[in-house]
Structure 1
C-alpha cells in the first residue's frame, strides 16, 4: 500500500503533506511514509530542511477509535492497542527522531494522542488558535504512546509533561504555545506558509553543518524513544483489556466523561 503522502520541494525546503483527510488517522503506512521521506532527504544535497503538514481538518487525530480505520488494528478492534500494528508504527516513530534533516510541523488542526506524538517528533512546531493538542490517553484508560514518555519531558520538562499526560487536557493552539508544545502561533491561514518560512530560514545555512548540529542536538533520542515505546506498548496491551479502557474509549467517542471503576 502506498503511503498517503505528497512531497513538494520549494527551494531548499521539502514539504511533506499527509493526505488522509479529514483526520489523517495514524497507520503504520502513514508514519513509515513520513519516515522514509525524511530519511531520503538526509542524502539529498539540495534539501536542507523539511515541513510536515496535512490535508483536511486535523493535523493527525491519532488512532481511529471510531472503528472504520481498517489498516490500524488498535482503531479497528482487530487487535489490542499495543499489539503488532502498534509496535510497527512505534518503530517508525523512532526513525523520525533519528533523521538528520531538521523539520518543522505545521499543526493547523487537532494533534491528538499519537498524533501529538507525531507533532512532537519535529524540531519545531507552528500552530494556530484553532488547533487542539491533547495527550488523551488517561481519558481513554490507556498508557501514553508514540514516544510521548520521552518527547514531552524533552520539550516541556517533567512537571509540565506530567500535567499534559495526567490531566488529558485539550489545549488550544495559544495555550499549547504558552505551555511550550508549539513554538509559534499564527492565524490558521498562515500556518503552512509560516512553517515553510521558518524551514527556509534554517535552509539558508550550510547543509552539512545543519545535519551535524541536528545530530548533536538529538543524540540518543531515537534510542530513548525505542526503549520508551517498547514499555508504552507493553503497558497499552495490559490496559487495553481492562473495563476502564473499554469505558474510556466509549466515553471519548461519545464525547462524555468516563465512568471509571479501576477494573
Structure 2
C-alpha cells in the first residue's frame, strides 16, 4: 500500500474519536446530488475512497446503493466499521484500490481527495469505474467571511507545514484528467450546530496537522480556541453555536 502523508497517518490515527465527534455532517440536499448527478440508488455500487470514520459513508448508504469503503488508517476504519457494520470496510489506498476493474458505478471522496490528488490515484479511480460512471469530490469548506471562523483558521495555519489542503487548490492540477469528462461544481450552504466544544474544539483538534502535534502544543491550541469561544460575542456563554460552512460537490464522468 502506498504510504500516506505523515500528518494524516499520525493525526487521524491519534484523533479518530475527535474526528468522529467534531467533523460536521452534510446538508440534506446533498442526497439529491448523489442521486441525480452521481446516479446512486438501488442496484448501484459506490466506492467511498478515503472514507475516514464514515461521516459521508452513511449518506451514501442512505441512497440504497451498495457501498464499499476504503480507508488506510486502521483507527478510522475501526470507527467506520463500528458505526456502519453493514458496509464493507477495506484497508487500501487511492493508489492501490483493492477492487477489480470496472466494478463500481461511482467513486466518492469526501474531505479526502486533496490527500491523494495524483496521477496514480486518478488511474486507479478510472480503473475501478465502469464507463459512464461518476467521480464525486466533496468538501465542507469553512465560511471565513465570519470573523470568528477566520480567527480559528489563523490559529491553525501556522501548523500546517506541507500538509495537503483543499484551499490551496493543488488538487485541481490533475484535471482535466485522462479518461474523464469536464468537472462540474454544485455548492450548498451548511451549518454545523452544537456545543462549542464539539463543533469548534473537536473540529479543530481533528485537523491532521493539529492532531499530530506534541501534547503540550495541542494544549496551547486548545487554549487559543477557548479564548476565541470565551471572548467573541457570538460565542461567549453559549451552550450551542452555529459553525457556517459551504459544501462544495464536484463531479465528472468516466468516459467510455
Same fold? TM cut 0.5: no
* TM-score normalised to structure 1 length: 0.25
More helix by share: 1
Greater RCO structure (CA 8 Å; 6+ sep)? 2
* TM-score normalised to structure 2 length: 0.25
